[in-house]
Structure 1
Amino acid sequence: MKKVLFTIVLALIVFTSCEDTLEVDNRGFATAESIYITADGYESLINTNYAVLRELYGSAPYVYCAGTDLYAEGSGRAAEPLGLSQYTELNSASEDVDLIYNAAYKAIRLANTALFYADITEQTATLTERVAEVKYLRANAYFLLVQTYGGVPIITEVINTPELEFDRDSAEDVYALIIQDLEEALNNVGTGDYNGRVTQKAVQHLLAKVHLTRGYESFGPATDFDVAASYADDAIAGQGLNLSFDELWDYTNQLNEEVLFSVRYSAGSVSANPTDLGNEQGAFFGPYMGGNEVAGQAPAKTYTLLATDFALRLFTPEDERYEGSFMNEVYNPYYLEHTTDDLTGEAVRDFYEPYWFTPADSTAYVNSIIQTEDFEYHPYESTYAQVVSGDWETIPLKKFDDPEAPYGRSSSTRDIVLSRLGETYLIAAEAYLQAGDAATGLQRLNTVRQRAGVADAALAEFDIDFILDERGRELFGEYHRWFDLKRTGKLVERASAHHPLVNEANFNGANGELKILRPIPQAALDLNQNKNFPQNPAYN
């Protein structure tokens, strides 16, 4: 493991965690040594470790979602980064290819600082728990790195002198560190309900996903899928999916019983600049709906990560996740559905036709509603990506809407859910399938389907493609899809089959390699004095 320069960064960060506002305070010109050896100062360092999650997840989510089977661009009003979305111009300097690299290593530097000071800070009753939380956060950062770039430099120490040359560790070694950190965290984090801090269920969920992902790698032990299934069942612990899909995504119910871990936000934490310091999750999965002149009437949307035809056709008419995910009826104002329990007598401004509507269904619907003067009926052929020409055309995703946010792309203070119980069931389903116990895996998957109101899947149709389809229905818009397709070896097949701007040839890279892993960012290569540091082979 090589050392790199670490500079302690003291930031003024205020964010919500647990039930109170936690502050990171520089306290004038005090040094790190004098701050972090105190109980309050060390707690502020832990809070900073949580706050950096916003840099990993709070901005444009192209690195998590673009270039897959579920999302594509809409009109010419805005465009996704070409490299991440279409692969044809993917290189080490491509837009956003460095997002995870930069933010994850910042998270790792902060975690290493917290682990270093844990040995010399004031000893408190919560110190062991805080150290365990930091190990989870460091493991999460390395897991993002290894999935995205493959092997990366492993850094576990705080270095106070410059180290400008570093080597690349193997993906196998990175996975070993991730699992070690999580296993050490497992029995030392809190065991209660999730309240903003890492809990045992969150660790079990991530351990399950790490073992599941490593199980597909050539160096993965034969036991990985069994271990993944076991950890997923530990996290489930007999808990059912008791909330409806609407209740799960109710913006007033963000710390609900199914959330295992999330990036936390609050209005107070972004008050210095409400339109820039919030998160962008709600802005990327719908059509442009107007400018500031309609502030309060509709959310800011980018027209970039829109549902593909394939994505929408995953849902059947009885699937409650369709209406639970998408704003298929838009009232005036847009947010009325979120803020009003009884919509009887309210006029509909836009309706997005589902693919299963017949002409008779269309006529019956139009005759059954109250319409605004500018009511627009969007036939199915204009509700998905790549076939639109005007504003409001494609169906908006509503799961992440924030009625209390000011108009702006970065203004939401909704939490970003990173792990939840519905996904834990799907991890268990996949792990059991790959471990050779399809019958148990099917039971886990059908628990998810039963909450959605759809018929149980049959054993004859239960395979990895069915699981990926189910993950598409259950987790649409959440930040998993690129990792799902890469993990299962389905990225090329599914993106080229269902993304309108991607074909198999787009993935062809240098040296006969496919562009599956993302390239190591050019800035990282330029700053490294080890000129033998290898780039991923598809980009040499």
Structure 2
Amino acid sequence: MKKNHLYIYFVALTVIISACNKKLNEYNPSGITPANMYTNAIGFETLVNAAYSYDRFWYGKEEGVSVSEMGTDIWTSGSGDVYPQLTQYLNLHSVGSNTASLSLLWDNFYAAINLCNTGIAGVNAVTDYTDAQKKMREGELRFLRAFYYWHIVETWGGVNFTTAPTVGVVTTANRTPVDTFYRQIFTDLQFAVANLPATTSDYGRVTIPAAKAFLARMYLTRGMNAEAAALANDVIKNYGFSLLSNYVDLWNMGNLKNKEVIWSVDYSTNLTLNDLATNAYPQGHSRGSNSDHLLYLMVYDQVNTAALIRDIPNGRPFNRYMPTLAYLKMFNRNFDSRYEGSFQSLWRANKAGGGFKVGDTVCYATPDTVKDIASKKYKVYDVTQVYKANGASLQNKFYVSLSKFKDSTRASLAEAQSARDVFVIRLAEMYLVAAEAKYKQGDLDSAAYFLNVVRKRAALPGHTNDMVIASAQVNLDFILDERARELGGEQLRWFDLKRTGKLIDRVRTMNPDAVPVSPDDTLRPIPQKQLNAVTNKGEFTQNKGYQ
């Protein structure tokens, strides 16, 4: 694969990818040239399927998580964090433009954009597609282009933009207004809505409701609140989706393809199919499958090695991230099932030893204050053991751990790959989009209604009424708290705070570890190698505040 100096890639024809279970599989037509491959259906299917696969650089990957969840009000660094520049804004403005995660994402999002542009420009030349098939595949590519451009423009702002395919070496980059990005995003999504099917038998492909749901998110992002509310409500009512009865059931590995999921990245249960061919991407390595299950787990296997050793049910702990104290305190644990449905606080002996029998409590973590800790037989990590008085982290090895992404179906305790699908859009988000849009329109009764649907689903048995809020309780901070309770870890948080103008305020107030945050941090730094590569350095410059 050739890459140009702008790191926008022309995708070669030797791509061999198994993008999903048995769906979206790519074909290697050996010996066929670009001039004729994309003019027949088999070749063009390869292009479309490859365009989907770039979402795997973001969803379920540490690089994407570090950009979309970290540096917010709800997460801080675990002791294994490899990107503290993004989690805590440490030296981000002096060395941040060299952050490896940002370079990886920049390179591959622009590779995805170029592939989409190539397909959109060439779809009408496919000789053995019907007109309907051409429109459908163009709808998929336009959705994906909008999807990737949203990640680009929100992460880096008004950077390089084009809808034309790039072939060969390009040595200049443009600075394009954010509004231009969004005009194209809306145009592409509206085309997708008009031309995609309502359902698909190829799980993982986008559909009309997926396009409408993402468009509702885009309308909300741009302050088009009436449109956002109407479209979110359309998806809620008209496409057969429903909230699962129990929040915890969302994370059951045997129940991933359920009625709440509008669109997901479909990772294969055959892990070898997720290890993408090394020649498929310009980075020259495979992306593997979902690694979310590793990132949020504390090192429980270091608490008491006589009685608690690493095993499959407790997960493989990479110890990258831990919740802020403010996040844990957002949950009313007496009423809300999402605390226990999202976090692990208790670890039991899985080995007899050190005075413990198998099944005995060995470790307990809590945001509360526990009296007489010294008298406990088991180890306690209460608020005084984990956080300072101001909420900053005191130690970051042992803590309440996000567990909803764990995968107990892994074949071995050392297995780092997971077959867990990543939910990119699910129905609960549509209720929350509608609630925020209605709040911004001044309709607090409707906002409370949409919030209460989500909250009542989350109620512990017998506490449904306790979870119901009145319209007078609705404000932007409450909505953001509700989104954190419902969607924490699902790669939306940084965008939520940026969209609502709350990033700086809430990080400074609720995440003392990240107090270096500044107004410039509503954009990420452009990778330094991109800046070095262009010849029009006076025009294509670094984002404000970064060196």
Write the deviation string for residues 99-140 of structure 1: whole angstroms up to 9, x where unpaired: 432221121112112212311112145332222111111101
Report the equivalent of 2:234.
234
Report the equivalent of 1:183.
190
Report the equivalent of 2:444.
438
Write the deviation string for residues 233-271 of structure 1: whole angstroms up to 9, x where unpaired: 111116552431011221111111001111111133535
CA contact under 8 A between 2:38 and 2:44: conserved in structure 1?
yes
Q: Which amino acid counterpart does residue 300 of structure 1 have in structure 2?
A: R
Cα gap change, 1:32 to 1:403, in 2 (>3 Å): farther
Note if 1:507 corresponds to 2:507.
no
Report the equivalent of 1:280.
291
CA distance in 2, matches of 1:517, 1:389: 27
Among 58, 77, 97, the residue aligned to 1:92? 97
Q: Which amino acid counterpart does residue 210 of structure 2 have in structure 1?
A: A
Give the TM-score, by structure 2 length: 0.84
Structure 1 residue 35 displacement after superposition = 2.6
Among 523, 529, 535, the residue aligned to 1:517? 523
Note if 1:211 corresponds to 2:253.
no
Cα gap change, 1:34 to 1:147, in 2 (>3 Å): same
Among 10, 17, 22, the residue aligned to 1:7? 10
Write the deviation string for residues 398-441 of structure 1: whole angstroms up to 9, x where unpaired: 21111122445741121111110111110111111112222211
CA distance in 1, matches of 2:23, 2:205: 13
Structure 1 residue 350 displacement after superposition = 4.2
Write the deviation string for residues 218-243 of structure 1: whole angstroms up to 9, x where unpaired: xxxxxx11111111111111655243
CA contact under 8 A between 1:225 and 1:434: conserved in structure 2?
yes
CA distance in 2, matches of 1:175, 1:199: 21
Match of 1:418, SS?
strand
Note if 1:310 corresponds to 2:322.
no
Match of 2:403, SS?
coil
Report the equivalent of 1:166.
173
Give the TM-score, by structure 1 length: 0.85
Match of 1:514, SS?
helix
Structure 1 residue 290 displacement after superposition = 4.1
Among 24, 27, 41, the residue aligned to 1:25? 27
Match of 1:140, SS?
helix
Match of 1:143, SS?
helix
Write the deviation string for residues 119-169 of structure 1: whole angstroms up to 9, x where unpaired: 111214533222211111110101111111111221211233433223111
CA distance in 1, matches of 2:325, 2:75: 9
Q: After alignment, is 483-492 or 380-389 more displaced?
A: 380-389
Report the equivalent of 2:77.
73
Among 158, 161, 170, the residue aligned to 1:151? 158
Write the deviation string for residues 370-401 of structure 1: whole angstroms up to 9, x where unpaired: xxxx95444344467823365xx212222111
CA distance in 2, matches of 1:475, 1:426: 10
CA contact under 8 A between 2:9 and 2:111: conserved in structure 1?
no
1:38-117 correspondence runs (5 A)? 38-60=40-62, 61-75=65-79, 78-90=80-92, 91-117=96-122
Cα gap change, 1:240 to 1:30, in 2 (>3 Å): closer
CA contact under 8 A between 1:15 and 1:21: conserved in structure 2?
yes
Report the equivalent of 1:479.
491
Q: After alignment, is 315-324 or 274-283 more displaced?
A: 274-283
Note if 1:417 corresponds to 2:420.
no
CA contact under 8 A between 1:165 and 1:529: conserved in structure 2?
yes
Structure 1 residue 197 displacement after superposition = 1.1
Among 402, 406, 410, the residue aligned to 1:401? 406
1:314-333 correspondence runs (5 A)? 314-317=330-333, 318-331=335-348
Q: After alignment, is 239-248 or 304-313 more displaced?
A: 239-248
Note if 1:428 corresponds to 2:434.
yes
Q: After alignment, is 494-503 or 306-315 more displaced?
A: 494-503
Could you say what the CA RMSD is over the residues aligned between the two structures, in angstroms? 3.0
Match of 2:118, SS?
helix
Give the number of aligned pairs. Answer: 499
Q: Which amino acid counterpart does residue 439 of structure 1 have in structure 2?
A: D
CA contact under 8 A between 1:108 and 1:138: conserved in structure 2?
yes
Cα gap change, 1:515 to 1:462, in 2 (>3 Å): same
Report the equivalent of 1:337.
none
CA contact under 8 A between 2:217 and 2:228: conserved in structure 1?
yes
CA distance in 2, matches of 1:378, 1:537: 41
Report the equivalent of 1:448.
454
CA contact under 8 A between 1:432 and 1:441: conserved in structure 2?
yes
CA contact under 8 A between 1:297 and 1:333: conserved in structure 2?
no
Q: Which amino acid counterpart does residue 213 of structure 2 have in structure 1?
A: H
CA contact under 8 A between 1:306 and 1:394: conserved in structure 2?
yes
Note if 1:296 corresponds to 2:312.
yes
Q: Which amino acid counterpart does residue 117 of structure 1 have in structure 2?
A: G
Unmatched 5+ stretches in structure 1: 216-223, 335-344, 367-373
Structure 1 residue 283 displacement after superposition = 1.2
Match of 1:72, SS?
strand
Among 265, 268, 272, the residue aligned to 1:263? 265
Unmatched 5+ stretches in structure 2: 1-5, 277-285, 303-308, 352-356, 460-465
Among 252, 255, 264, the residue aligned to 1:253? 255
Structure 1 residue 516 displacement after superposition = 1.9
CA contact under 8 A between 1:241 and 1:447: conserved in structure 2?
no
CA distance in 2, matches of 1:452, 1:351: 26
Cα gap change, 1:468 to 1:184, in 2 (>3 Å): same
Note if 1:132 corresponds to 2:152.
no
CA contact under 8 A between 2:216 and 2:232: conserved in structure 1?
yes
